Amino acid sequence: MTIPDDLKYARSHEWIKTEGDSVVVGISHYAQDQLGEVVYVELPDVGATFAVGDELGTLESVKAVSEFLSPVAGEVLEVNTRLEDEPNLVNDDSYGNGWLVKLKGSSESKELLDAADYKELLEQESA
């Protein structure tokens, strides 16, 4: 299972990547694998603000509907509009073209995990 070293991870299985004064948010490979084939993505409105742990949107798969949470506090700067027509990008490229939203916010949070700690979390959850 892929766990990129250059990202930070939330315990709820979202990842973030810092880009200047904003962060890109997506779900981990583990999360998309647990969901199964994603067939619909509901994203927040640009300009909406969220606190850590707030529901940003939902991912609908052939198995279930699951919400994804904001791993950082911030304002939505951009959403991945490609997911409207290609929700499968979440499965096919969860750390790349399958990103979900960009937030104006900081990645400085004691709650976020580095790759090694996230891998340990996954091992604990699957034990």
Cβ neighbours of residue 36 closer than 8 Å, sequence gap 6 or more: 61, 62, 63, 64
Q: Is residue 78 part of a domain?
A: yes
Could you tell me the CATH number of the domain that includes residue 43? 2.40.50.100
Question: Could you tell me the pLDDT band of residue 56, with boundaries at 50, 70 and 90?
Answer: very high
C-beta of residue 50 within 8 angstroms of C-beta of residue 76: yes
Q: Which residue range(s) make up the domain with 53?
A: 8-106
- Cα separation, 84 vs 39, in Å, equals 9
Percent of the chain with pLDDT over 70: 98
- Which residues are paired to 27 by β-bridges? 14
pLDDT at res. 14: 97
Q: Is residue 12 part of a domain?
A: yes
Q: Is residue 118 part of a domain?
A: no
Q: Which tokens belong to 5?
A: 């070293």
Q: Is residue 112 part of a domain?
A: no
Question: Could you tell me the pLDDT band of residue 41, with boundaries at 50, 70 and 90?
Answer: very high
Q: Which tokens belong to 99?
A: 């990103």
Q: Which tens digits make up the pLDDT trace of 2-18?
A: 899 999 999 999 999 99
Question: Could you tell me the pLDDT band of residue 111, with boundaries at 50, 70 and 90?
Answer: confident
Q: Which tokens belong to 119?
A: 């891998």
| Overall domain count for the chain | 1
Residue 107 confidence (pLDDT) above 70 = no
* Mean pLDDT computed over 88-107: 93
Q: Is residue 126 part of a domain?
A: no
pTM of the model: 0.94
